[in-house]
Amino acid sequence: MKLHEYQAKQVFADAGIPTPDSALASDVDGVLEAAADIGYPVAIKAQVQVGGRGKAGGIELVESDEEAREAAERIIGMDLKGIHVERVLVEEAVDFTNELYVGVTMDRGEGKPVAMVSTKGGVNIEEVAEEDPDAIAREHIDPSFGMQPYQARKVVFDAGVDRAVATDVAGVLSTLYDLWTSKDGSDAEINPLMVTADDEVIAADAVMNIDEDALFRQPEIAEMGEEAAGGDELEQKADEYGFDYVRLDGSVGIIGNGAGLVMTTLDLVDYYGGSPANFLDVGGGAKAERITNALDMVFSDDNVDSVVFNIFGGITRGDEVAKGINEALEAFDEIPKPVVVRLAGTNWEEGMEILNEDLVTVEQTLEDAVQRSVEYAEEGEA
């Protein structure tokens, strides 16, 4: 479960991590009232769970009532990467001299949590990891003992953080790890952690994702769940359909059966130069109606320019999947996005025969299917 920025900041602030003064608003009058209480300048930030809000026009810095009114009228009600903005966070502007990144997640390759720190905050950390991996310092943590103070200091030192704020940054990181463990987090990060001219550190953004399977022991977090899902109709629809679904920022829609298979497809889309639009696992034993619902979801995402269907039959039969694909696509007067299908496993040959190749592109291998879907997406973006 993903918390909104304002919810994650509430959790962080309750634990002692410094955050800017802020207030939630859902209309222009609420924005003006909050700005007057906080004092200008303020940032007005769309509360939707997508990356790149600033570049997409979802964050604005304003210095007067007039500017605040104009920004609120633009942001509230806008569609930001396909998600309707219903609320904004009005937040005290931070006069900063530097931006850092701190985060905690699970390194599945090592089988341990990993704490990360970088002096290249305020930008997409995935891009930093790809372009300059040495800019991110990492420290693996034995979950039996937790993060030790020397580990927090070490990873901050390894990242090259200025000594004037190193102790405070290490403290924030330690608190972040404690929250990650105590709240059953899957990811927790602050990007950016701003450094002021007075050598104070402030969490200017906040990400906190929770393991949904652990919500039964996180009642306070669970209460945030319905509110956290607000604004993203696709994720709400996924809950209704019973799908494992995560919305991403790319243009290649991905449907598969089994989390491992879907993750493999995501990795291949990235490998071949594309960008995944979603993670959608239809599960085992998927019938035609379930496949129809999955396609309906992916087609509803305005960011999607192509769809790749990756099914390996075990419980899920290839002929049932093919029927579902045909039924879904035949309901359209015009296919909204090109669909590429790869079937393997149980009844895959029967499925191949059933598929209407006037409606879909069929590929024999996963690699070919992914490459073709990436090509279609690039054509759609052109």
283 phi and psi angles, rounded to 5 deg: 80, 175
53 in a known ligand binding site: yes
Is 52 known as a binding-site position? yes
Quick check: 227 and 7 in contact, CB under 8 A? yes
190 carries a ligand binding annotation: no
Region label for 258, one of left (φ > 0), alpha (ψ between -120 and 50) or beta (otherwise): left
- Across-strand partners of 140? 114
Q: Is 119 annotated as a binding residue?
A: no
State the catalytic residue, choosing from 189, 235, 320, 363: 189
Phi/psi at 8 (5° precision): -60, -40
104 assigned to a ligand binding site:
no
101 is catalytic: yes
**In angstroms, rounded to a whole number, what is the distance separating the alpha carbons of residues 179 and 170?**
14
Task: Determine which one of 5, 6, 60, 101 is catalytic.
Answer: 101
Q: In DSSP terms, which residues pair with 287 in a beta bridge?
A: none
Residue 191 counted as an annotated binding residue: yes
Active site residue 245: no
Q: How far apart are CA 12 and CA 179, in angstroms?
A: 8
Residue 311, annotated ligand binder?
no
54 marked ligand binding residue = yes
DSSP sequence for 102-166:
EEEEEETTTTEEEEEEES--SS-HHHHHHH-GGGEEEEE--TTT---HHHHHHHHHHHT--HHHH
Q: Is 258 annotated as a binding residue?
A: no
The residues, ordered by sequence, that sit 6+ positions from 51 with a Cβ below 8 Å of its Cβ are 124, 249
Any binding-site annotation on 99? Answer: yes
> Is 314 part of any known ligand binding site?
yes
In whole angstroms, give the CA distance from residue 352 to residue 50.
36
Among positive and negative, which fits the CA dihedral 107, 109, 112, 115? Answer: negative
Torsion, Cα 66 71 76 80, to 10 degrees, reads 170
Residues placed in the known binding site for ATP: 45, 52-54, 91, 94, 99
**What is the set of active-site residues?**
101, 189
Residues placed in the known binding site: 45, 52-54, 91, 94, 99, 191, 205, 257, 314-316
Residues placed in the known binding site for substrate: 257, 314-316
Residues placed in the known binding site for Mg(2+): 191, 205
